[in-house]
Amino acid sequence: MTIVTPKTVIDRIPAGKAERERYFKKLRDDAPTWLKEIWADSKRRGTDKLTRREINAEIAAARCGRAQKINHPAR
């Protein structure tokens, strides 16, 4: 039984630029259909270009809105 950790996954990535590009292209080609559909939807919506900071801000806003609904339900 092999335990896959982030370190072992990173160690599989080739060091050379051309080899690395081929490796990631193969990963994209081998991705399951459902994941490719998510990528396509994200590209259409423009959300594929969001930064980590923008993603975190969206999550925080959604959580804040949800907390307000739970704490102060409409009567």
pLDDT of 75 strictly over 70: no
Q: What's the pLDDT at 12?
A: 81
What is the structure's pLDDT at 11? 78
**Residue among 8, 14, 16 at smallest CA distance from 27:** 14
Query: Which pLDDT band, with edges at 50, 70 and 90, does 13 fall under?
Result: confident
Outline where the chain has alpha helix (H): 6-12, 17-30, 33-45, 52-71
Q: Where are the domains of the chain?
A: 18-71
Structure tokens at 31: 């991705």
d(CA 64, CA 58): 10
The Cα 33–Cα 5 span in angstroms is: 25
pLDDT in tens, 25-48: 998 999 999 999 999 999 999 999
C-alpha gyration radius of the chain: 19
